[in-house]
Structure 1
Amino acid sequence: MTDGGLILVVEDSEEDTEAIQRALSRSHPFLDLEFAPRSEDVLSRLLDPAARTPDLLLLDLNMPGMDGLTLLSSLRAHTACASLTVVVFTSSTASAEEDACYAAGADSYIYKPVNFELFQTVLRGAVDFWLPRAADGAVTAAPPAAPPA
């Protein structure tokens, strides 16, 4: 289990925010969590030199205003955010959205399970996999999907 580090969670749903907080506080009690309910606020927060740099960004796609995919593209366009580990954690099961996220530079795309126990297990696995890689600087984005043959 990995403890320590900061995860910035971009999530507009209060219900999902509470579930994420509950799940990660159980599996990673020493992990710092910061929540941003609006995508529009995230880029300026990440570019603020006085703000602590997160080790991992957990990103919802379906948000009011700027959606998660637009935010992801904006993040990857800034050199200060280009190496930030971004895990898309969404209820969207559309393969076109998944492909678009990988093409925009997502490191991982994970579906939000409805069952809380599975939700907690999936989150724990994502954090255990990605957080050490982010800390070591060994993160490389998943390759874009291959074009159809």
Structure 2
Amino acid sequence: MTRPLRILLVDDSPMDRQLAETAFDLLDQPCTFQTADSGQDALWMLMTPAAVIPDVILLDINMPGMTGFELLSVLKTHPNLSVIPVVMLTTSSRDADITRAYTLHASAYLIKSIDFQHFLCQLKKLLEFWSQARSTTWPQMISV
């Protein structure tokens, strides 16, 4: 049996983190869900010697301190962390934000629905996709 998908959500909003945690709890998909409240916190979590490397990172754009774009840029230039798929999970539908995310090598860009049932559907599809798309040797293929 395949292990549960590991997800790291990076979002500065306690309400958005709680909403996502509730949504993942309601989904009938095996996954482990971890959160970081800032880009700096996420980097610390990912770079510790005992780090549990996620299968996918969900990343908000607008955060104080290190923005989501800044974190994405750091992740994609790090020799070991660059292979982690990053999905921008944001309320921004600005073309400039979408273009910037893909220019910085985001794997996907998902505009959060404000309707909770639709948000659940978005997350369910995200889980289904990334559960199928991940490498069978992940994360043994990298060393932090």
Tell me by how many angstroms 1:79 deviates: 1.1
Decide whether the 8 Å contact of 1:59 with 1:87 is kept in 2: yes
Tell me by how many angstroms 1:35 deviates: 0.6
Which residue is equivalent to 2:7?
7
Q: Which runs of 5+ in 2 are unaligned?
A: 139-144
Which residue is equivalent to 2:121?
121
Q: Identify which range, 42-51 or 103-112, moves more after superposition.
A: 42-51
Q: Following the alignment from structure 2 to structure 1, what is the Cα–Cα distance between the partners of residues 39 and 134?
A: 22
Q: Following the alignment from structure 1 to structure 2, what is the Cα–Cα distance between the partners of residues 77 and 131?
A: 25
Decide whether the 8 Å contact of 1:59 with 1:89 is kept in 2: yes
Q: Following the alignment from structure 1 to structure 2, what is the Cα–Cα distance between the partners of residues 24 and 134?
A: 18
Q: Deviations over 1:40-69 (max 9, x none)?
A: 121232122311111110100011111000
Matches within 5 A, 1:1-149: 4-28=4-28, 30-136=30-136
Which residue is equivalent to 2:141?
none
Tell me by how many angstroms 1:3 deviates: 7.0
Aligned residues: 137
Decide whether the 8 Å contact of 1:3 with 1:28 is kept in 2: no
Detail structure 1 runs of 4+ shifted over 4 Å in the superposition. Answer: none
What secondary structure sits across from 2:57 in the alignment?
A: strand
Decide whether the 8 Å contact of 1:39 with 1:68 is kept in 2: yes
Tell me by how many angstroms 1:18 deviates: 1.3
